[in-house]
């Protein structure tokens, strides 16, 4: 086993050690008897009165989704482009498969951007 792989395993082990207690502890110590007071909505500790003043606009959701997809694509294409000389054809096929997978959410975002009736 190479030293680089051991570092990846150590990082994965640390991730498990950090995440598992974060998930399990609230299940153990969180209150489990809901009441009307506990489940009531609060705004900064105050009971809300009337309708909300600002409605969340969803018109930019599709653009946000496209930005996230383009960001991930750019990050991996940059890393692939820097090392593409030494990796050859298998890496090219992998990046083509990656691009095909990433165009699925891009197509969904474009579909949402065209649907003006949901905004």
Q: How many CB atoms lie within 10 A of CB 117?
A: 4
CA distance 93 to 7: 27
What pTM, to 2 d.p., does this model score?
0.44
Q: Which residues pair with 43 in a beta bridge?
A: 46
Q: Cα separations (Å) of 13 from 20, 67, 108?
A: 11, 32, 35
Boundaries of every domain in the chain = 3-118
One pLDDT digit (tens) per residue for the chain, 119 residues = 677 788 889 999 999 999 999 999 988 998 788 888 777 777 777 777 777 677 666 677 777 888 888 888 888 888 888 777 777 777 788 888 988 998 888 888 778 777 666 55
Q: Which residues pair with 46 in a beta bridge?
A: 43
């Amino acid at each position: 086993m190479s030293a680089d792989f051991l570092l990846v395993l150590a990082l994965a082990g640390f991730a498990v050690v950090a995440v598992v207690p974060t998930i399990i502890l609230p299940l153990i110590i969180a209150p489990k008897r809901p009441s009307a007071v506990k489940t009531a909505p609060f705004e900064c500790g105050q009971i809300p009165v009337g309708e909300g003043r600002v409605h969340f606009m969803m018109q930019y959701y599709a653009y946000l989704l496209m930005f996230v997809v383009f960001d991930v694509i750019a990050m991996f294409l940059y890393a692939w482009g820097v090392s593409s000389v030494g990796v050859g054809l298998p890496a090219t096929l992998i990046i083509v498969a990656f691009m095909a997978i990433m165009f699925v959410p891009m197509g969904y975002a474009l579909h949402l951007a065209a649907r003006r009736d949901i905004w």
